Structure 1
Amino acid sequence: MTMRTRNLLTVAAALLLAGCSQNEITEMSPDANPAVGFNVYSGVQTKGTQTDVTALKTGFGVFAYHTNSQSWAAAASGAGPNFMYNQKVESSNGSAWTYTPVKYWPKDEEKVTFFAYGPHSTLSGSGVTVPAVGSITNAPKLTFTIESTNDAAKMTDFVVAKNDASATQDRTHVNSASGVTFTFRHVLSRLTFEAKPSVELSTTTGAKGTTYVMVRTAKILQSLSPKFYKSGVLDCADESWSGKVTATSDYDITKVLALADEKAIVNTPADQTSNKYDAVKLTSNTTPITLFTSNEYLFLIPETAKTGTGTTSAGDVTIRFDYDIVTVDTALGKGYAITHHTTDAKLPAGALKQGVAYKYTIEFGINEVKILTPAVENWGSEAPGNITV
């Protein structure tokens, strides 16, 4: 191996996430190819996360600062990304991480400090907005905006590499010969919901008397959600948030609902939309079902760090659901009775901690219309009268 080959800069990144309550993912590469990149493995199976090793293979962004002989601690306040700026690193074949143009290590005693985030972005608007190269001093500060088209299915799971003094700061060819190691961590809060009716309902499809709760739409209600933020600024130095901007309108999350066309039950065009009746059908009070499509979540800007207290009050974020109660009744002209309902689900206090995944169960109220024992008035005395014919 030539000295030229040995001095190629390699980048290592591997994620592992132990569980929903853990947000730290670790990338390692003992067998990195010094020419262009490294091999990636996941030491622990990921669990319910949107951004993992596989997702990052489409690209993550790297900022690198060449501080010569100075340490990052000494140089940070005046340093800019003069070695790499939003450099896209990807793995097209699943076995090696590549980037272009390839960079070479400076002299052995000269230091380079790295920051990384994912997924890689070159856009402004939804997702990550990267500041102009000339405007960055110290660690990069990235603006994050939740999906702005009211399409919650396109929400981004934003991850940032830990600013690690022993892994990403003051790297040299000597201490990083096998590659630079990034530990990516989730910096948003993740939410999902499951649901059940408040009473057990019959599961005999289409039978007379069968009742269903049909969840139709959902949205984050801006007027009742003071801790629902549309954007904020993430400091890669310590993963802290600042400059959070409260949303100014409702946020439709219907597109992440696990909707199915139930027009076989609700078969009247007047009750349908475009000849469909999309809903999440609930029948079991004992076994909640997920409201969201598999592997889709809400990713929201957190209220506090993971070690903080989260939201202060119940309802700091409120989600409004529209649902119908449908009862099959062949005696009726259209074969069923349908009533429309709205309920507001208030996230409990302590929600929206950074890097924490939440699963909430919602119980949709259903109250039987009961007929009480009737009271029958007495006829009373017969009134006399004559009829002349």
Structure 2
Amino acid sequence: MTMRTRNLLTVAAALLLAGCSQNEITEMSPDANPAVGFNVYSGVQTKGTQTDVTALKTGFGVFAYHTNSQSWAAAASGAGPNFMYNQKVESSNGSAWTYTPVKYWPKDEEKVTFFAYGPHSTLSGSGVTVPAVGSITNAPKLTFTIESMNDAAKMTDFVVAKNDASATQDRTHANSASGVTFTFRHVLSRLTFEAKPSVELSTTTGAKGTTYVMVRTAKILQSSSPKFYKSGVLDCADESWSGKVTATDDYDITKVLALTDEKAIVNTPADQTSNKYDAVKLTSNTTPITLFISNEYLFLIPETAKAGAGTASAGDVTIRFDYDIVTVDTALGKGYAITHHTTDAKLPAGALKQGVAYKYTIEFGINEVKILTPAVENWGSETPGNITV
């Protein structure tokens, strides 16, 4: 039997994410043993961007267990992925999903149970480590690692298909004629930040001149972040985490900051890097702006499940920001005055719940140097004296 379109029975993938819709394909073969088809998410996310149905068309991995006449509940403890092992499935258009070698449904009464995750692990940078062939018993347990501990732009939004008794377990050709449906869920915590100065700043030359807060760099401080994990093990059976390993180094997140070159303001080489002055420029105390590049986020291994308490204390994860306060002053040789500052932003208690997206607002401190009403010494009485000429 050839691998023709008419032989493919597709598996729909839905991602539980606001704005993403379920993508279902219901074509099936009239043949007695039609092929089983899948969505695949393969490929590295080169940015800290979220995984959605569009991203999944580049590939996800599938494990399938043929348990013959036994149900998954009865067979799970001794079952291995004997039907599909980390099978890569991909799509060029998001509507037709293919993989190789093609597998075909067993006899109608025989059962197959499916698990899936994304991104597929075979490309570097995915962050997902799949157990060796022959080592899996029961549902897959996948090790997830924050791939580059000095480049947040390579962060991955790890997703896992829900293990559903009615949708992914004990599937047969008879009960899956319209396709097996995967519902992917986010298993990390998502973070983004917006920022503002602590006081309103003038952006045009006036009574207060022109002042800017310039955010330059950011990193997660390992020494102050006992709940910042570099790796953990995700059980696909219930989406639970175990074996979490605390990070041993700071984690630079500067590459996801929405930096622009502000050399027009700060134009002295001593205050620049590579003849550029990259910063996120803040002025408004009433309207925070995002610190991150559009649609990029931090994805961190969670502390608890969504229904849990999250982190216990403020400062379980601490992020250090370096920023400058720059005031334009044409009377100065540089044309501006600049002071350098560092602040540590502590995530509040209750952070890092699984599958929860957080947006935090950071207020960067700025204190005006005020000149108070002066005290003028009294001249006192004049001292008389004679001058001889």
Per the normalisation by structure 1, the TM-score is 0.89
Q: Secondary structure at the match of 1:32?
A: coil
Deviations 1:90-138 (A, max 9, x none): 1113320111111001111111100000011115776111110111111
Alpha-carbon contact 2:47-2:154 (below 8 Å) kept:
no
Alpha-carbon contact 1:24-1:183 (below 8 Å) kept:
no
Q: 1:35 to 1:112 in 2, by over 3 A?
A: closer
Alpha-carbon contact 1:320-1:344 (below 8 Å) kept:
yes
Alpha-carbon contact 1:60-1:120 (below 8 Å) kept:
yes
Q: 1:361 to 1:36 in 2, by over 3 A?
A: same
Deviations 1:257-316 (A, max 9, x none): 000000000011111111100000000111110000001000000000000010001111
Give the CA RMSD over aligned residues. Answer: 4.6
Counterpart-to-counterpart distance in 2, 1:7 and 1:140: 28
Q: 1:377 to 1:114 in 2, by over 3 A?
A: same
Alpha-carbon contact 1:113-1:171 (below 8 Å) kept:
yes
Alpha-carbon contact 1:17-1:25 (below 8 Å) kept:
no
User: How many aligned residue pairs are there?
Assistant: 389
Q: 1:270 to 1:96 in 2, by over 3 A?
A: same
Deviation at 1:376, TM superposition (A): 1.8
Alpha-carbon contact 1:208-1:330 (below 8 Å) kept:
no
Deviation at 1:202, TM superposition (A): 1.4
Deviation at 1:9, TM superposition (A): 5.2
Alpha-carbon contact 2:12-2:25 (below 8 Å) kept:
no
Counterpart-to-counterpart distance in 2, 1:194 and 1:222: 22
Alpha-carbon contact 2:196-2:288 (below 8 Å) kept:
yes
Q: Secondary structure at the match of 1:27?
A: coil
Which is worse superposed, 264-273 or 375-384? 375-384
Q: Secondary structure at the match of 1:114?
A: strand
Q: 1:332 to 1:71 in 2, by over 3 A?
A: same
Alpha-carbon contact 2:67-2:111 (below 8 Å) kept:
yes
Alpha-carbon contact 2:42-2:119 (below 8 Å) kept:
no
Which is worse superposed, 376-385 or 230-239? 376-385
Q: 1:292 to 1:21 in 2, by over 3 A?
A: farther
Deviation at 1:18, TM superposition (A): 3.2
Counterpart-to-counterpart distance in 1, 2:96 and 2:124: 29
Counterpart-to-counterpart distance in 2, 1:112 and 1:239: 20
Deviation at 1:89, TM superposition (A): 1.1
Deviations 1:149-202 (A, max 9, x none): 411111000000000000000111111112211000000000000001111111
Counterpart-to-counterpart distance in 2, 1:148 and 1:132: 23
Alpha-carbon contact 2:261-2:278 (below 8 Å) kept:
yes
Which contiguous aligned blocks of 4+ residues in structure 1 show a shift greater than 6 angstroms? Answer: 1-7, 19-34, 38-49, 205-208, 384-389
Q: 1:205 to 1:17 in 2, by over 3 A?
A: farther
Q: 1:218 to 1:138 in 2, by over 3 A?
A: same
Alpha-carbon contact 1:322-1:341 (below 8 Å) kept:
yes
Deviations 1:346-380 (A, max 9, x none): 11110000000000111111110001111122334
Alpha-carbon contact 2:187-2:354 (below 8 Å) kept:
yes
Deviation at 1:19, TM superposition (A): 6.6
Counterpart-to-counterpart distance in 2, 1:42 and 1:132: 18
Q: 1:118 to 1:261 in 2, by over 3 A?
A: same
Alpha-carbon contact 1:11-1:38 (below 8 Å) kept:
yes
Deviation at 1:46, TM superposition (A): 20
Deviations 1:3-53 (A, max 9, x none): 999986542223342379999999999999966747999999999971111
Alpha-carbon contact 1:31-1:39 (below 8 Å) kept:
no
Alpha-carbon contact 1:60-1:89 (below 8 Å) kept:
yes
Q: 1:212 to 1:5 in 2, by over 3 A?
A: closer
Could you say which residue in structure 2 is the equivalent of 1:235?
Answer: 235
Per the normalisation by structure 2, the TM-score is 0.89
Counterpart-to-counterpart distance in 2, 1:30 and 1:150: 52
Stretches of structure 1 lacking an aligned partner (at least 5 in a row)? none
State, as a whole percentage, how many aligned pairs show the same letter: 97
Counterpart-to-counterpart distance in 1, 2:351 and 2:26: 25
Which is worse superposed, 31-40 or 374-383? 31-40
Q: 1:4 to 1:210 in 2, by over 3 A?
A: closer
Counterpart-to-counterpart distance in 2, 1:327 and 1:30: 74
Which is worse superposed, 266-275 or 31-40? 31-40
Alpha-carbon contact 1:197-1:283 (below 8 Å) kept:
yes
Q: Secondary structure at the match of 2:54?
A: helix
Counterpart-to-counterpart distance in 1, 2:270 and 2:54: 45
Could you say which residue in structure 2 is the equivalent of 1:309?
Answer: 309
Counterpart-to-counterpart distance in 1, 2:104 and 2:350: 47
Alpha-carbon contact 2:198-2:364 (below 8 Å) kept:
yes
Q: 1:97 to 1:205 in 2, by over 3 A?
A: farther
Q: Secondary structure at the match of 1:73?
A: helix
Q: Secondary structure at the match of 1:65?
A: strand
Could you say which residue in structure 2 is the equivalent of 1:74?
Answer: 74
Q: 1:157 to 1:5 in 2, by over 3 A?
A: closer
Counterpart-to-counterpart distance in 1, 2:70 and 2:219: 51
Which is worse superposed, 178-187 or 36-45? 36-45
Which is worse superposed, 256-265 or 194-203? 194-203
Alpha-carbon contact 1:27-1:41 (below 8 Å) kept:
no
Kindly report which structure 2 residues correspond to 1:1-389, keeping only aligned pairs within 5 A, or say none.
Answer: 10-18=10-18, 37=37, 50-122=50-122, 127-204=127-204, 209-382=209-382
Alpha-carbon contact 2:149-2:251 (below 8 Å) kept:
no
Q: Secondary structure at the match of 1:24?
A: coil
Q: Secondary structure at the match of 1:74?
A: helix
Counterpart-to-counterpart distance in 2, 1:120 and 1:196: 38
Q: Secondary structure at the match of 1:26?
A: coil
Alpha-carbon contact 1:28-1:181 (below 8 Å) kept:
no
Alpha-carbon contact 2:42-2:89 (below 8 Å) kept:
no
Alpha-carbon contact 1:130-1:143 (below 8 Å) kept:
yes
Q: 1:85 to 1:22 in 2, by over 3 A?
A: closer
Deviations 1:44-101 (A, max 9, x none): 9999971111000000000001111111111111111111010011111332011111
